[in-house]
Amino acid sequence: MLRALAVAAAMLVFAPASVAETNAPYVNTSYDWRANPYRDLERAIEQASAQNKRILLVVGGNWCGWCEVLDRFLARDAEAREAFEQSFIVLKVNMSPQNENAAFLSGFPDSRGYPDFFILESNGAYLGRQRTDVLEAERDYDSARMVAFAQRWAQ
C-alpha cells in the first residue's frame, strides 16, 4: 500500500504539466483529426481574453513536414518562443484526409500552403493571415522574421 502511494505521489510530482498549468501559449499541442475546433476556439478565446493576447490559428497536420519544423523551431528558439508566448494563444487546427475541418475552415481564406497562420482578435474575430513561407530560412524558420511577426501582431 505504501509503495502504491509513493508511486502515485511520484507520478503527480514528475508528470508533465498541462498546457493550462504552464501558461504556455498552446490550447492544444497536436493536429488531432478528432478534435473539435469550435470547442478549442472557445478555449482559445477564454485564454486570449484573460491574458490580453491575440489568437494564432495554425492550420496543418501531422503529415506536414513544415508543421514539424515549426514545432521544433519554437521549442529550440527561446527568443521566438517568448515573442509568440507574449503575443498569442496558439490553436492548432487539423487539415488532413481524415478530417479537413471544412465547415470550421470555411470561415477563413483558402489555405494554399501549410502550416497556414490566421491571426484572430482575442474575441475570435478574423484579423489577417500570414504565409509561413516568407518566415522560412533554408530548411528552418528565420528567428528575426518570426519575432517580428509575433511582435507586429501583439496587442
- Chain segment 13-47, per-residue pLDDT in tens: 333 333 334 446 899 999 999 999 999 999 999 99
DSSP code string of 73-87: HHHH-HHHHHHHHHH
Question: What was the pLDDT predicted at 24?
Answer: 64
Confidence of residue 77 (pLDDT cuts 50, 70, 90): very high
- Chain segment 103-151, per-residue pLDDT in tens: 999 999 999 999 999 999 999 999 999 999 999 999 999 999 999 999 9
Residue-range domain boundaries for the chain: 19-152
Evaluate if residue 5 carries a pLDDT over 80: no
Alpha-helical runs (H) found in 1-155: 2-14, 19-22, 37-51, 65-76, 78-87, 102-105, 143-152
Strand partners, 90: 26, 56
Alpha-helical runs (H) found in 15-120: 19-22, 37-51, 65-76, 78-87, 102-105
Q: What does the block give as the cell for 71?
A: 514545432
Q: How many residues does the chain have?
A: 155
Q: What is the CATH number of domain 19-152?
A: 3.40.30.10
Confidence of residue 7 (pLDDT cuts 50, 70, 90): very low
How far apart are the C-alpha atoms of 113 and 71, rounded to whole Å? 16
